[in-house]
Amino acid sequence: MMKATIPSIARRAAPDYAETSRRDPAFLSVDGLCKYYTWRSFGGSRPIKSLDGVTLRVAKGEIMGIVGESGCGKSTLAKVVTRLTSATAGQITLDGEDWLAPRGEALRRRRPQVQLVFQDPHGALDPRMTIGTAMAAPMAAHGIGTPADRRDRVLAMLAEVGLDESFHDRLPAQCSGGQLQRVVIGRALLLEPQLLVCDEPTSALDASMRTQILNLLMDLRARRGLTMLMISHDLRVVRYMCDRIAVMYAGQVVELADRDHLFDHPAHPYTRALIASSLLEPGGIDLSRHLREGEVPSPLAMPEGCRFASRCPYAQPDCTALEPALKQAGSRHFVRCRHWNTHAAATMPPRG
């Protein structure tokens, strides 16, 4: 089988999370999660199927990557998992408890468990609130410590995320994007979350800031054993960060595998197209082998059959008739494609 590797990229050693995941198979489990927004017009309303049956298991201490093009539902997944919006159907279990059940004050009290890092750090901080206040206030809301105590914790956290004390009294406008992203991460960590959801934490940052933030997240994970959902449209980011990767397309998971396995043996045509697109090498690659110039289906009118069929170079007549299910393709490998095993072997470009 031809390997789809990015040769110049050495890999981070795979952590030994398999051990923990066997002991504690699902710290976070998402089952058949659906989120339909409603689209209203003069004629009536239609569902916008932003998430349509997403199932994931994340072990404690694991980093699960979510990749896919914009509009595929990544942020919607983050919003449902962080309880910013309700789910239309499906379940989320966190550490053995139903995470969709608590409401109102009960939910507010449990919120520290799941924290979110936003794409745009400038937007995630109130421009009128100093960084010290923004970081201390959540602790106050949950009755953690005295004011003096909270101040100490904020200063310690600023140091942990690599900022000096002078940031305590600054306003967001006086900091760069990279510095604010550290503040956002620090603010979330002060609540000692069990799950950190990162929604494109580096997409709004420059290359040099991006590596700083990714290093910081890896350090924090090593130090605190954080479980993370790492959402990105950038394969390079999930490749560096994640233990397992779920590839999403049009509201569904189309492929799910351990990181190395996914990059070495991508089974879904869309995954291969994604990998090929990230290989912008001298001379280029012929993308048309991996992607037809079709349109991404609208979440207002999802097709009957395979949602990728409009862009899939391997589409067969039966693909558009029936929707493929997420099927096991290996011991820890799942793929949503009827023909993966017939075309998977001969499709990645020869390299070298």
Partner 1 sequence: MAAELSLTPARRDIGPLRRFLATRHWTFAAGCTIFSIVLAILLAGPWLWSLDPAAQNIVQRLKPPSETYWLGTDNLGRDVFARLVEGGRFTVTIAAVSVVISVVIGVAVGILAGRIGGWFEEISMRLVDLLIAIPDTVIAIFLVAIFGPGHVTLIVALTIVGWTPYARLARGLALQVNAMDYIRAAEVLGMTRRFILIRHFLPNLIRPISAVTFLRFGHKLITVGGLSYLGLGVQPPAPDWGLMLAAAQPYLDRAPMLMIAPGLAIFVTALSVTWIGHGLEIDRTRPHN
Partner 2 sequence: MSHDAETLLSVRDLTVTPTGGGKPIIDGLSLQIRRGEIVALVGESGSGKSMTALAITRLLPRGLRITSGEVVFAGRDVTAMSGDDLNHLRGAGIGMLFQQPHAMLDPTARVRTQVAEPLTIGKGLSRRAAFARVIDLMRSVRIPAPEARAMAYSHELSGGMAQRVMMATALAAEPDLLIADEPTTALDVTVQAQILQLLKAEQARRHFAILLITHDLTVVQAFADRIAVMYAGRIVEEGPAARIMDAPQHPYTRALIRCSLLEPEADGRLLSIPGSGSTARDIGCGCRFAPRCTLARGDSHLHDRCHQAEPGLAGHDHTVRCHASQTASAA
Ligand X SMILES: Nc1ncnc2c1ncn2[C@@H]1O[C@H](COP(=O)(O)OP(=O)(O)O)[C@@H](O)[C@H]1O
Q: Which residues bind Mg ion (CB under 5 A)?
A: 75
User: Which backbone phi and psi does 130 adopt, to 5 degrees?
Assistant: -70, 160
String marking each residue 141-180 x if it binds partner 1 according to CB under 8 A:
xx--------------------------x-x---------
Asked if 179 is part of the footprint of partner 2 (rule: CB under 8 A), the reply reads yes
Identity of the residue numbered 121: P
Identity of the residue numbered 255: E
Asked if 352 is part of the footprint of partner 2 (rule: CB under 8 A), the reply reads no
Shortest distance in whole angstroms from residue 51 CB to Mg ion: 12
Q: Residue with structure tokens 């919120």?
A: 111
Total residues in contact with partner 1, by rule CB under 8 A: 31
**Dihedral sign (CA 107, 108, 109, 111):** positive
Question: Contacting partner 1 (CB under 8 A), which of 1, 9, 101, 129?
Answer: 129
Shortest distance in whole angstroms from residue 345 CB to partner 1: 44
Shortest distance in whole angstroms from residue 106 CB to partner 1: 11
Asked if 201 is part of the footprint of ligand SF4 (rule: CB under 6 A), the reply reads no
CA-to-CA distance for 42 and 177, rounded, in angstroms?
42
Asked if 8 is part of the footprint of partner 2 (rule: CB under 8 A), the reply reads yes
DSSP for residue 231: E
- DSSP per position, 253-294: EEEEEEHHHHHHS--SHHHHHHHHHH---TT---GGGT--S-
Tell me whether residue 343 is exposed, middle or buried, using C-beta atoms within 10 angstroms of its C-beta: 0 to 12, 13 to 18, 19 or more.
middle
Q: Which of partner 2, ligand X, Mg ion, none is residue 144 near (CB under 5 to 8 Å by kind)?
A: none
Asked if 297 is part of the footprint of ligand SF4 (rule: CB under 6 A), the reply reads no
Q: Which of ligand X, partner 2, ligand SF4, none is residue 218 near (CB under 5 to 8 Å by kind)?
A: partner 2
Question: Contacting partner 1 (CB under 8 A), which of 12, 128, 236, 351?
Answer: 128
* Helical segments of the chain, H only: 17-23, 74-81, 104-110, 131-141, 147-160, 177-189, 207-224, 235-241, 259-264, 269-278, 340-343
Shortest distance in whole angstroms from residue 200 CB to Mg ion: 6
**Dihedral sign (CA 134, 135, 136, 141):** positive
CA-to-CA distance for 274 and 263, rounded, in angstroms?
10
Nearer to ligand SF4, 73 or 172 (CB): 73
Asked if 72 is part of the footprint of ligand X (rule: CB under 6 A), the reply reads yes
String marking each residue 80-119 x if it binds partner 1 according to CB under 8 A:
--xxx-----------------------xxxxx-xxx-x-
Contacts (Cβ under 8 Å, ≥6 apart) of 147: 136, 140
Residue of 56, 47, 58, 118 lying closest to 82 (CA atoms):
118
Shortest distance in whole angstroms from residue 340 CB to ligand SF4: 6
Identity of the residue numbered 182: R
Question: Contacting ligand SF4 (CB under 6 A), which of 180, 188, 338, 348?
Answer: 338
Binning the chain into helix, strand and coil, the percentages to the nearest 5 are 35, 20, 45
Asked if 308 is part of the footprint of ligand SF4 (rule: CB under 6 A), the reply reads yes
Query: Interior CA angle at 233 toward 114 and 80, to 5°?
Result: 30
Shortest distance in whole angstroms from residue 269 CB to ligand SF4: 5
Task: List interacting residues with partner 1 (CB under 8 A).
Answer: 82-84, 108-112, 114-116, 118, 120, 123-126, 128-130, 133, 137-138, 141-142, 169, 171, 184, 187-188, 191
Task: List interacting residues with ligand SF4 (CB under 6 A).
Answer: 269, 306, 308-309, 312, 314-316, 319, 324, 337-339
Task: List interacting residues with partner 2 (CB under 8 A).
Answer: 8-13, 69-71, 176, 178-179, 206-212, 214-215, 218, 233-237, 239-240, 273-274, 276-278, 280-284, 287, 291, 293-296
